[in-house]
Amino acid sequence: MDALPPDRATKPVMTRMERVGVVVPFEDKAEPGIGRLVDLTRADMERVNAMILSRTGSDVTMIPEVANHLISSGGKRLRPMLTLATAQLTGYEGAGHVKLAAAVEFMHTATLLHDDVVDESDMRRGKIAARIRWGNEASVLVGDFLLGQAFRMMVEVGSLRALEILSAAACLIAEGEVMQLAAAKNTETNEDEYLAIIRGKTAELFAAACEVGPVIAERPKAEIAACRSYGMNLGIAFQLIDDALDYGGASANLGKNTGDDFREGKITLPIVLSFRRGSDEDRAFFRRTLEEGDIRDGDLEHAVAIMKTCGALEDTVERARHYGAMARDALAIFPQGPMKDALVETVDFCVLRGH
């Protein structure tokens, strides 16, 4: 496991911590953060979007309805952009990266449809979740359809190694989700266990999305490993910021209601750190709310207060910065250029969107 910055002992209210709970509106940070990446991948993303629309078509009317409800709901499509970006970074000149990027987006969309059923979520990307509108069964089955289409596109590209990477990622994502399910409401979950969960459920797809670009470009192992490391560390940083935002962000930032993790009994890093560092009274509070599901008015605010007192939110953001730095370092073997700069800026976007 990558080295983490030294843990801190329980400490008094942090003066810097007050900033974590006051989040700059998402729109103010998002465009400058990935604007260059968007510009450099724009032409290819237009081809990816056309591919996505064509591959969601079906004679079964509900399939395109459910799929397009989520696909067209305003996501940044960061993961497919990373596939296009790393292919461009490593000099790929074919067309296979477009299908692989579309496959990555379908994999991501399928996991969101499945996750909302598992989590019983009511909102996704600022819209009513598909499971609320069409039901759990339709959401799961349309997610399965998208996974099937993703694998069809991988096969069409003709790269056995790319197919191996993305199919392995699909398995690891599912394992991560099952690990999270097993850890739900378990306040004894430790930091290493939680990091293993987010490596699977979130970071693995980032890593695979970045790895397949240099693979189809037939680049040396060192460049392939560097792109994978960039994606893995970026994905971990991305998820850790999401963890912090759930207790100090806004619905516009998350595409879901703030406090959903708390209400669903999810054990995320702010909870792990707060439970370990807090008082006996704090631990009793988290057992009541998370393990027993006995959540009362004002409990979310009290949870945030505990997190601020022991520095859990601040240190979650610090962890994200740490992994962001490793993502930037992974790009060091590549020469300077517009795409490398854009990928570095993408790290800053992922980390800075929370504060």
For 318-349, write each residue's pLDDT tens digit. 999 999 999 999 999 999 999 999 999 999 99
Least confident of 4-18, 189-203, 211-225, 316-330: 4-18
Mean pLDDT of 67-94: 91
pLDDT-based confidence at 8, cuts 50/70/90?
Answer: very low
Q: Which tens digits make up the pLDDT trace of 170-208?
A: 999 999 999 999 898 999 999 999 999 999 999 999 999
pLDDT number for residue 23: 31
Domains with residue ranges and CATH for the chain: 22-352 (1.10.600.10)
pLDDT number for residue 16: 32
For 325-336, give the secondary structure using H, E and C. Answer: HHHHHHHHHCCC
Helical segments of the chain, H only:
17-20, 26-55, 62-71, 78-89, 96-119, 130-134, 136-157, 160-183, 191-198, 204-216, 221-248, 251-254, 260-263, 269-277, 280-286, 299-309, 312-330, 338-352
Alpha carbons 327 and 269: distance in angstroms, whole number:
20
First CA to last CA distance, the chain: 27
20 has pLDDT over 50: no
Both tokens assigned to 186: 């378990």
pLDDT number for residue 192: 97
DSSP code at position 123:
E
- CA nearest to 223, candidates 323, 342, 332, 327: 332
Sign of CA dihedral 149, 195, 272, 33: negative
Mean pLDDT of 94-113: 96
pLDDT number for residue 251: 45
Alpha carbons 100 and 143: distance in angstroms, whole number:
17
Highest mean pLDDT among 2-11, 48-57, 207-216, 248-257: 207-216
pLDDT-based confidence at 17, cuts 50/70/90?
Answer: very low
Alpha carbons 260 and 268: distance in angstroms, whole number:
11
pLDDT-based confidence at 74, cuts 50/70/90?
Answer: low
- CA nearest to 272, candidates 200, 202, 190, 197: 190
Question: Who has greater pLDDT, 15 or 257?
Answer: 257
Percent of the chain scoring above 90 in pLDDT: 75
Alpha carbons 326 and 322: distance in angstroms, whole number:
7
Q: Which residues contact 242 (CB under 8 A, 6 or more apart)?
A: 254
34 has pLDDT over 60: yes
Residues in the chain: 355
Return mean pLDDT, the chain. 88
Residue 269 near residue 319, CB atoms below 8 Å = yes
pLDDT number for residue 119: 84
Q: Specify the 3-state DSSP secondary structure of 9.
A: coil
305 has pLDDT over 80: yes
